[in-house]
Structure 1
Amino acid sequence: MTTARDNATLKIMVIDDSSTIRRSAEIFLGQAGYQVVLADDGFDALAKLHDHKPALIFCDILMPRLDGYQTCALIKKSSRFHATPVVMLSSKDGLFDRARGAMVGSDAYLTKPFTKDSLIKIVREHTERMLAE
């Protein structure tokens, strides 16, 4: 069983061009005790990645400049961050979108609008092994 104190050692990055989605995720994850790093697009995320070294990344699909598929692919091609779980965020729940996410290396897919419980459940599923090490 992980505690909020354990969670505080984990940084979660949320990449989304919607300030509402970023704020919701920040509140939900913060209440669960996680440190949250926010990025408003793929370029912003890539710039912050090396400084913050997140344990998990939530990545919106539809963003300007660098979309979520491109951002995920770049993260997964990085020798330093290829093992970092990336969860795609999208308001679309189609099979094509999920398959395309899997093709670029995403570890999971979460449909917006998400609930606090669904967000925390995915974080726990993908970070429990890190806390156990």
Structure 2
Amino acid sequence: MSGLKVLVIDDSKTIRRTAETLLKKAGCEVLTAVDGFEALSVIAESEPDIIFVDIMMPRLDGYQTCALIKRNTSFKNTPVIMLSSKDGLFDRARGRIVGSEEYLTKPFTRDELLGAIENHVRRTA
């Protein structure tokens, strides 16, 4: 995982900080954004290898953010993993419809976070 560029989009400072700490310990370069609007400029500038996006955010929610990422030809193959405290079938299905590769329920564990990266980096490598 060393050198992988990971973007974490979440309006919760605690979640961003937790994910950043876990990912940096695994050797990842971590970028963060507080909402979908900020994330779109970070994605365009830094081209992350994988993106974690919270569903419930102000301005642009995670579904809208994921859909915008997947519509962009430059980033349509970048894995997007939804993060949510909701664990319903509807939420998971909606995540798939907008193009997310996986759905993690908060609070996530270190193994779940790193496992999601391994699943999708392996597929694209």
| TM-score under structure 1 length normalisation | 0.91
Counterparts of 1:1-133 in structure 2, within 5 Å, are 7-130=1-124, 132=125
Identity %: 60
Q: CA RMSD in A?
A: 0.9
In the TM superposition, what is the alpha-carbon distance from 1:129 to its structure 2 partner? 4.1
Rounded Cα–Cα distance in structure 2 between residues aligned with 1:31 and 1:107: 24
Measured against aligned partners, the alpha-carbon deviations of 1:7-52 in whole angstroms (never above 9, x if no partner) come to: 2321000000000000000000000000000000000000111111
Runs of 4+ in 1 over 6 A off after TM superposition: none
Deviations for 1:47-68, whole angstroms, at most 9, x for unmatched residues? 1111111010000000000000
Paired residue total: 125
Which stretches in structure 2 are left out of the alignment for 5+ residues? none
- Any unmatched runs of 5+ in structure 1? 1-6
Deviation at 1:128, TM superposition (A): 2.3
CA distance in 2, matches of 1:127, 1:13: 14
Question: Do the aligned partners of residues 127 and 17 (structure 1) sit closer, same or farther apart at CA in structure 2, a change above 3 Å counting?
Answer: same
Q: Aligned partners of 1:82 and 1:94: how far apart in 2? A: 25
Q: Whole-Å Cα distance in 2 between the matches of residues 105 and 112 of structure 1?
A: 20
Residue type at the aligned position of 1:45: A
TM-score normalised to structure 2 length: 0.97
